[in-house]
């Protein structure tokens, strides 16, 4: 496994909401140029809000004695691009600090949130692995970095081939369906993970009396794109028709994604322990009865039934969860936020229940938990 100090992170503060131009015209071409010199580099991106909206370009695999030259090339290439095509979006620092505190509370990120850097700032920062989730498990850490490297050309394909938000929603929901279908009992059970995310999101929205507003918004989008999702499910996952991938750009993305899921799950199966820790892990919730009361009926059942606990503790589920979590982490790169992510879960869950004629209550042996 590559050592943490052998990675470079270039942080690019770029405040335009639409990041397609800097991705397609600067960052992806930059990596292609570096690979002509250094071969198969590992590379992935991360979008985040802390200190101002930015993209982290993470890079490794170059000769260590060339680190200074690589840093100079990265800084020069990006700075030259921004000098010619700067972001002109302005943010109010005081308002952004308030927003940062709200986002930080949702992500269990308690700061610091300042300094808020100026737009078009480019700087190197320390590369940091997520040891809170993976501890010191080298297989999980290495698999995550490899997966992120492999997902970059897939996301580049989506960005290049689709310009509207709804086109990208269809793309991503189909990718989610392919993840769900790799669950050991197929998509009829695999979709329950996405169902749980949608249920949890709407339950929390209901506490603020916003669930009816959000459901209305979700259903409006669903009405426009559900036909394409249902057709994909019916043709490729229900009928199990062998997919003739061909040269269609959509199918090329699906093929690459499907291959990546399969190879990653095979690799993770070699590890004895692939549990992923989190600040709201189910074991902590089960022990805290007061906390459990704040959950939806779906989650109360999942966290208190033998079937649910067995599922959450299973090695296969954690391998599956590993892939889903990375997919979620990368959605901001193509312009999706947390609400969009939960809308995708909502639309996919409804489509699966319709096409596969299934219901989570029957699948999970549901009984009301009081």
Backbone angles phi, psi at 60, to 5 degrees: -155, 175
Q: Tell me the torsion sign for CA atoms 11, 135, 291, 322.
A: positive
Query: What 3-state class would DSSP assign to 332?
Result: helix
The SS3 call for residue 154 is: helix
25 and 85 in contact (C-beta within 8 Å)? yes
- Which of the four pLDDT bands, split at 50, 70 and 90, describes residue 310? low
Domain ranges of the chain: 4-109+119-128, 163-363
The pLDDT tens digits of the residues spanning 216-229 come to 999 999 999 999 99
Three-state DSSP class for residue 227:
helix
Which of 192, 143, 186 has the alpha carbon at shortest distance from 311? 192
CA dihedral (316, 109, 43, 131) positive or negative: negative
> Is the predicted pLDDT of residue 10 greater than 70, yes or no?
yes
Q: How confident is the model over 336-358, as a mean pLDDT?
A: 95
Cis geometry, peptide bond prior to residue 366 (ω within 30 degrees of 0): no
Mean pLDDT confidence for 76-81: 98
Which of 65, 52, 61, 60 has its CA nearest to residue 11?
52
According to the model, what pLDDT value does residue 284 have? 55
Percent helix, strand, coil in the chain, to 5, is 65, 5, 30
Is residue 243 within a helix (H) or strand (E), and if so which, with residue range?
Answer: none
* Residue 246 burial (10 A CB sphere; 0-12, 13-18, 19+): exposed
Residue 335 CB neighbours (<10 A): 15
pLDDT tens digits, one per residue of 163-189: 899 999 999 999 999 999 998 888 988
Residues of the chain with pLDDT > 90, as a percent, come to: 58
- pLDDT tens digits, one per residue of 90-149: 999 999 999 999 888 877 788 899 999 999 999 999 998 876 666 677 888 889 999 999
Supply the DSSP string of 247-301, one letter for each residue: T-HHHHHHHHHHHHHHHHHHHHTT-S------TT-HHHHHH-HHHHTTS-HHHHH
Listed in sequence order, the residues at least 6 apart from 238 whose beta carbon sits closer than 8 Å to its beta carbon are: 355, 356
The secondary structure of 88-137 as a DSSP string is -----HHHHHHHHHHHHHHTT--------PPTT-EEEE-----HHHHTT-
Bond preceding residue 286 cis, omega within 30 of 0? no
pTM equals 0.88
Residues ≥6 apart with Cβ < 8 Å to 256:
150, 153, 154, 157
State whether CATH 3.30.1300 applies to domain 4-109+119-128.
no
Q: DSSP assignment of 22-90, as one string?
A: HIIIIIHHHHHHHHHHH-S-EEEEEEE-TTSSEEEEEEE-S-GGGHHHHHHHHHHHHHHHHHHS-----
When mean pLDDT is compared across 33-42, 71-80, 136-145, the lowest value belongs to 136-145
Average pLDDT, the chain: 86
138 φ/ψ angles, rounded to the nearest 5 degrees = -65, -30
In this structure, are strands 42-48 and 54-60 parallel, antiparallel, or unpaired? antiparallel
């Amino acid at each position: 496994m590559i050592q943490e100090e052998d990675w470079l992170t270039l942080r690019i503060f770029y405040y335009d909401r639409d990041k397609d131009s800097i991705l397609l015209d600067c960052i992806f071409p930059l990596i292609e140029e570096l690979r002509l010199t250094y071969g198969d580099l590992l590379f992935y991106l991360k979008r985040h809000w802390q200190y101002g909206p930015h993209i982290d370009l993470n890079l490794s695999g170059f000769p260590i004695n060339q680190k200074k030259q690589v840093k100079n090339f990265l800084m020069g290439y990006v700075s030259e691009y921004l000098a010619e095509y700067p972001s002109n979006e302005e943010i109010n620092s005081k308002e952004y600090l308030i927003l940062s505190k709200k986002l930080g509370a949702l992500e269990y990120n308690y700061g610091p949130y300042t300094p808020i850097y100026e737009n078009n700032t480019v700087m190197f920062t320390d590369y940091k692995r997520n040891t809170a989730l993976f501890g010191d498990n080298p297989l999980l850490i290495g698999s995550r970095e490899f997966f992120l490297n492999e997902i970059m050309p897939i996301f580049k394909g989506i960005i290049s081939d689709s310009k509207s938000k709804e086109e990208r929603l269809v793309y991503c929901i189909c990718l989610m369906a392919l993840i769900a279908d790799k669950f050991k009992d197929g998509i009829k059970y695999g979709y329950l993970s996405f169902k749980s995310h949608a249920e949890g999101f709407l339950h929390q929205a209901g506490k603020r009396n916003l669930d009816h507003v959000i459901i209305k918004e979700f259903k409006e989008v669903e009405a426009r794109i559900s036909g394409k999702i249902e057709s994909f499910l019916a043709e490729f996952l229900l009928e199990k028709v062998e997919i003739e991938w061909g040269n269609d750009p959509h199918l090329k993305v699906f093929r690459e994604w499907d291959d990546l899921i399969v190879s990653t799950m095979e690799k993770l199966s070699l590890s004895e322990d692939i549990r992923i820790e989190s600040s709201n892990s189910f074991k902590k919730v089960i022990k805290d009865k007061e906390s459990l009361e704040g959950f939806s009926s779906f989650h109360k059942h999942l966290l208190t039934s033998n079937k649910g606990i067995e599922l959450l503790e299973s090695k296969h589920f954690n391998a599956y969860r590993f892939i889903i979590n990375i997919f979620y982490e990368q959605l901001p790169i193509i312009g999706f936020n947390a609400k969009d992510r939960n809308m995708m879960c909502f639309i996919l869950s409804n489509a699966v229940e319709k096409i596969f004629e299934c219901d989570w209550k029957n699948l999970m042996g549901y009984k009301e938990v009081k």
